[in-house]
Amino acid sequence: MGQAIRIIGIDPGLRRTGWGVIERDGTRLSHIADGMVSPNECRSLAERLVELKDALEAVIAAFVPHEAAVEETFVNQNARATLKLGHARAVALIVPAMRGLPVAEYAPNVVKKAVVGAGHAEKEQVTRMVRLLLPKSRPASSDAADALAVAICHAHHMAVRLKV
């Protein structure tokens, strides 16, 4: 096999940010770890963002990924909620970048298509396929499963780039 590459996938959110770490060795994918960060909703926005930053820094320090992949924001009708999600997404982008990791971004439908085969798959389908693709994984939450899906999507895109 080639050199194993460790990838952290991040599904950003202000209430819940999922993270998942996988390893790609040739065509083989392995589950390393996953989890979720839930900043204290009683705290100010700034304090919750610091909590999210600290938690993601700890995950990156613990699992030492080589690359990061972050799910893009789904823009909804509520501009205020979208803006707050954007803050969490900025933290998810900047933390790995500050550690020198290349950071890729993927739209939700691209992630679903890479993992399930359909861009409009339901959350349950994504979770089932993550468990199928990573048999040793038991995602802690749907947010962690989504983060693992983002990492899997990145691994698939890496394989295509390497072939080209």
Q: Which of the residues 23, 34, 67, 143 is marked catalytic?
A: 143
- Catalytic residue check, 143: yes
pLDDT in tens, 102-121: 999 999 999 999 999 877 88
pTM of the predicted model over 0.95: no
pLDDT confidence of residue 93: 98
Mean pLDDT of 35-45: 96
- Catalytic residue check, 54: no
Q: Which of the residues 11, 23, 67, 146 is marked catalytic?
A: 11
pLDDT confidence of residue 160: 61
The contacts of residue 19 (CB under 8 Å, 6+ apart) are 8, 9, 10, 11, 34, 35, 36, 37, 56, 59, 144, 147
Question: Residue 164 corresponds to which tokens in the numbers above?
Answer: 């080209």
- Catalytic residue check, 146: no
Q: Which of the residues 23, 34, 67, 71 is marked catalytic?
A: 71
pLDDT in tens, 4-26: 999 999 999 999 999 999 999 99
Give the confidence band of 164 by pLDDT, cuts at 50, 70, 90.
Answer: very low
pLDDT confidence of residue 2: 67
pLDDT in tens, 61-101: 999 999 999 999 776 778 888 888 899 999 999 999 999 99
pLDDT confidence of residue 159: 63
Task: Report yes or no: 48 and 22 within 8 Å, Cβ to Cβ.
Answer: no
